[in-house]
Amino acid sequence: MTSTSESPTPLLNTVLDEIGAEIVSGAIETGQRFTLQDICVRFDISRTVAREAMRALEQLGMVSSSRRVGITVLPLSEWSVFDQSIINWRLACEASQKKQLNSLNQLRLAIEPIAARMAATESTEEEREEILELAERLHELEMKPSRRVGEELATDLRFHSMVLHASGNEMFAALTPSLLSMLKGKSVFGSEKRNPIAGTAHLHQELARAIAEQRPDEAETIARSILDEARASAGAKA
């Protein structure tokens, strides 16, 4: 049994990630039941660590627990699907990856064009300047890829994050991690590992200018075009 004097955090994360991933993949099926003792034995951990892991899964809506029946796996409809852990598990799972990417893409299509429209009228001067600078850097990176691993993706994530925050809508801003999980997922697991911005840098520049020049109609249209082109590109490479 693992010593309780050791920090439980690494163990907790390991157990949580493994069980969460197995629920997502279906290896642990909806309706399946198990006990804290089962977890203790399987991972050779204390009841304290097992209990914390199950509590975390309960908070995610993935399991329920009771003294009489133990721990029961809940269906997808009960999960906290905006939680970053669940999104990451679904993206990492081959069986659910495509559906998760489609769901994130549809969410982006519903929100980002409206956020771009709002950014054109609600953004501050500092936000508009940063969006322009990021768009210019994306163009440079498309022409001459960086030697720094991941700079293209990091810059693209920052650009889209800035547009969402510049909208002035705190709820759009709060959804940023979930919305941008699609970009991360496609780059890590999908077909855009080498160049996540290929073919769209010019559209990012046009969007940045539309926002800076306070042209909301054009900003919305261009933002939608970026998403449509990215979706078409992903479909062609699938």
Report the C-alpha gap between 98 and 91 in whole angstroms. 8
Identify the segments of the chain with pLDDT beneath 50.
1-7, 191, 193-194, 236-238
Which fold does the domain 9-78 belong to in CATH?
A: Arc Repressor Mutant, subunit A (1.10.10)
Q: Domain coordinates of the chain in residue numbers?
A: 9-78, 97-237
Q: What is the pLDDT of residues 202-230, one digit of tens each?
A: 999 999 999 999 999 999 999 999 998 87
Q: Which amino acid is at 97?
A: Q
Exposure of 4 in the CB half-sphere (CA atoms within 13 A): 6
Quote the pLDDT of residue 2. Answer: 41
Which fold does the domain 97-237 belong to in CATH?
A: Four Helix Bundle (Hemerythrin (Met), subunit A) (1.20.120)
Q: What is the pLDDT of residues 84-107, one digit of tens each?
A: 999 999 999 999 998 998 898 899
Report the C-alpha gap between 45 and 167 in whole angstroms. 47
Radius of gyration over every alpha carbon of the chain, rounded to an integer in angstroms = 21
